[in-house]
Amino acid sequence: MKVLVTGGAGFIGSHVAEYFAQKGDDVIVFDNLKRKELLCKSTGDPYHNVEYLKQFPQVNLVMGDIRKFGDLKGASKGIDIIVHTAGQVAVTSSVNDPRSDFEINALGTLNVLEIARLYNASVLYCSTNKVYGNNVNTIPVREEMSRYSFNDERYSKGIPEEFPVDLCGHSPYGCSKLSGDFYCQDYAETYGLRTGVFRMSCVYGERQFGVEDQGWISWFTIAALKDQPITIYGDGKQVRDVLHVSDLVCGFDAFIKSNVKHGVFNFGGGPNYTLSLLELLELLTNLLGKRPQISFAGWRASDQKVYISRITKANKLLKWAPQMRQEEGVSKMVKWLQTHFLEDIPK
């Protein structure tokens, strides 16, 4: 196969590129390497993943911007599959600059779909749990010692794909990602494209350079290793289901190999793979033998007290389920950061 990975130099994109290159597929990594400018902050070397992927002769890096159809078209000749991981990824950045957020996430996705229509390629779209917006916060929750939990048995297995997205706040980021989500669905209906929409929860793992506004598991881990202060917005009992990036990429491959023509999937760790912020800090304390420095600030707009993906649809149709426990995944992240990113930190 010939696989185009938009945002292929990013965290998820680089893992996708590596996976398919190791299978012997030809991989085009399409990226503008502008993460630092989009987030207005960064950790780590922005070229690290590019350098890492150079070990795979099947990977070809093409510099370009998904907002520019000509850039994308020039990189896409003969492609079979597009894994669309490129995007503006932070809620805070979307609030500060909604136009750029829209152009990258909505217009960029439309460009990807038009390229797919041109070459009759399959599209795998990285959507987000933020498409459900503040409707998630209408579910009653109960407060426990270190976390919140849904207090409604209808959601004991998590949020289903049929959960409403209307008549609520989303943040500009949630709106732009939902726009791309709907366009992928409509291109399947209108033009017959094969599309998979993955409404992802918290994906984490090696080669993720998290910052305070995006990639919280990675950011907490980096800050704890470097003895930097961590600010918790809210009380830290917010809960997310978490998914190691290796399980995510296996899920993408499961869709490609399946007979599913089009599907929308909530994609995360599900109810058995969850962490609250406080629980992650306790896990890091146990792994590192020291307690991270933390302080508290007010709740952020559009934050969800609990979000857990119901993954039964992916279990059934894709024969997929996460494999890596959160304790193992965070431990792998710590070891990778110590070895490859924070060489000056004692092992």
- pLDDT tens sequence across 214-241: 899 999 999 999 999 999 999 999 999 9
Tokens of 235: 């009380």
Bridge partner residues of 81 (DSSP): 3, 122
Neighbours of 23 (CB within 10 A): 12
**Which one of 173, 183, 273, 307 is the catalytic residue?**
173
Q: Would the pLDDT of 347 be above 60? A: no
How far does the chain reach from its first CA to its final CA, in angstroms? 41
Q: How high is the pLDDT of residue 281?
A: 97
DSSP string, 37-80: HHHT---S-TTHHHHHHTT-TTEEEEE--TT-HHHHHHT-TT-S
The mean pLDDT of 80-92, rounded to a whole number, is: 95
Indicate the pTM of the whole model.
0.95
Residue 180: both structure tokens together: 């791309």
Q: Is 173 a catalytic residue?
A: yes
Instruction: State the pLDDT confidence band at 40, using cuts at 50, 70 and 90.
Output: low
For domain 2-341, say whether CATH 3.40.50.10470 is its number.
Answer: no
Contacts of 112 (CB under 8 A, 6+ apart): 6, 66, 72, 82, 84, 123, 125
Mean pLDDT of the chain: 94
- The sign of the CA dihedral 52, 58, 63, 65 is negative
